[in-house]
Amino acid sequence: MRIAYLDCFSGISGDMFLGALLDAGVPLEAFERTVAELNVGAKLECSRVDRAGISATKLDVIVAGEKDMPREEFWEKQLSAASSQSPVGHRHAPEARDQGPGARDEASSVATAEHRHHAPARGLNEILQSIAAAPIGEQAKRKAGEIFVALGAAEAKVHNAGIEDIHFHEVGATDAIVDIVCAAVGAEALGVEQFVCSPLNVGGGTVTCSHGVMPVPAPATLELLKDTPIYSGEIQKELVTPTGAAIVKVLATSFGPRPTMTTEKIGYGAGSRDFAGQPNVLRISIGEAQLLGSESPQEIPVERIAILEANLDDLSPQIVGYIIDRAFAEGALDVFITPVQMKKNRPGTLLTILARPENEGHLRTLLFRESSTLGIRTRHEKRYALPRHHQAVITRWGEVRTKIATLNNEVVHYAPEYEDCRRIAAEHHIALKTVMQEALRLYMEKYLERQHG
């Protein structure tokens, strides 16, 4: 099984993750193409830097010809200016994105972007709609959306507010959108089946953010890292940012020491600061997981999920379809309907939503707001999910991704992505089954060649 291991001995931030992906072989052109397709008025700048003697890749997002100023400098200026003005009663997400290792954060990046462009705050739905409209892979769209939803849920929890009340000054800026969407695109480009992460060094001391001086880790970061192994080292700076924490939360299937694996590629992504005696880098190792013996089965990742259910017997099927689309857009893992017989022999529909626990609240709000139900049943259960990844094949009509699931390093399921096949069938006016059969044939040829040398 192909895996990626993240060494977070100096924390993790958005730009460090992107730099590590580039250093491990993800083409810069893939990120540049993504930024161009997002059409958000940004460009990328890539360079080689030295961090305590380690050569690493540094990636910066340039907006209106400017890089972001360090978090401390920005918020000290903002708080100083605000001290002489009346407070504004506006709830917004206060956490920083890349302030520690990258010196570029949600707070400074978005506020800096607003300072430069006078851009309004953005809600989660607006951000998710922008991602959904981007011409990138469906898996990358889904992961990018999940990262933003995780950030929004953490901010909402910290502020005791509904996620719809949070305005994303920090995570809604141009450079934050670029970071998160490129992170999802780059993770997909690696072609790995699992991300495994070390315990995270969160740093120490305090950090200046939009609400003043706070201890490290910042509130939203700590909320995102619940149930994740973290520690503080000698560096008294914020090393794990909310964006970095959200990326790890969504992508990593497990945390712990380096698993038994071969190493094929290594990448180092740099933050902006250069600490004495500790390289300010994120290291990624990519290779094949190795079983210790034939009797050592692969540990299947397990996670807690929330299940929401509602019985509907007086709602238009068109509205049910709309609710399903919205639930997926807001982070649902799966949504399905089941015909049921309700009281007074009325035919009805059981609507079921599977979601991560942190998304339960706003999905419950969605059901109450958009459906006719007066009650929702919820429960938490375990979900075992086989590792899966995509492998593309090139048909005579275009590229089709094949979703592959593995168990004990053995492929146990594979299927062409329906949306890829449907698009090709419609564009070329050919039978859908023909496209699917051709994609399967090409995958099997490629897979068998690899298996038998």
Mean pLDDT across the stretch 238-260? 90
Residues 440 and 358 in one domain: no
Mean pLDDT across the stretch 397-405? 88
Q: Does the pLDDT at position 97 exceed 60?
A: no
Whether residue 432 contacts residue 425, with contact meaning beta carbons closer than 8 Å, is answered with yes
Element (H, E) at 307: strand 302-312
Residue whose C-alpha is closest to residue 381's, from 301, 309, 304: 304
**Residue 166 burial by CB count (10 A; 0-12/13-18/19+): exposed, middle or buried?**
buried
Residues 206 and 339 in one domain: no
Residues 245 and 320 in one domain: no
- Residue where a domain terminates, one of 288, 314, 337: 288
Mean pLDDT across the stretch 250-272? 91
Q: DSSP readout, 318-348?
A: HHHHHHHHHHHHTT-SEEEEEEEE-GGG-EE
Q: Does the pLDDT at position 148 exceed 90?
A: no
* The model's pTM: 0.61
Higher pLDDT, 193 or 13: 13
- Quote the pLDDT of residue 149: 84
- Quote the pLDDT of residue 177: 85
- Residue where a domain terminates, one of 350, 367, 384: 384
- Quote the pLDDT of residue 173: 65
The domain total for the chain is: 3
Residues 122 and 59 in one domain: yes
Residues 146 and 276 in one domain: yes
Higher pLDDT, 165 or 120: 165
Residues 357 and 395 in one domain: no
pLDDT tier at 112 (50, 70, 90 boundaries)? very low
Domain-embedded: residue 239: yes
- Quote the pLDDT of residue 117: 38
Mean pLDDT across the stretch 206-225? 85
pLDDT tier at 300 (50, 70, 90 boundaries)? confident
- Quote the pLDDT of residue 411: 82
- Quote the pLDDT of residue 239: 95
Residues 347 and 392 in one domain: no
Burial per residue of 21-32, b for 16 or more beta-carbon CB atoms within 10 angstroms, e otherwise: bbbbebeeebbe
Domain membership of residue 342 as a residue range: 302-384
Torsion angle in degrees (nearest 10) through CA of 42, 244, 110, 212: -160
Least confident of 34-38, 86-90, 189-193, 413-417: 86-90
Domain-embedded: residue 49: yes
Q: Does the pLDDT at position 350 exceed 70?
A: yes
413-421 long-range CB contacts below 8 Å, 24 or more apart? 413/386, 414/440, 414/443, 414/447, 415/440, 416/440, 416/443, 417/138, 417/390, 419/138
Q: Does the pLDDT at position 77 exceed 60?
A: no
- Residue where a domain terminates, one of 256, 288, 320: 288
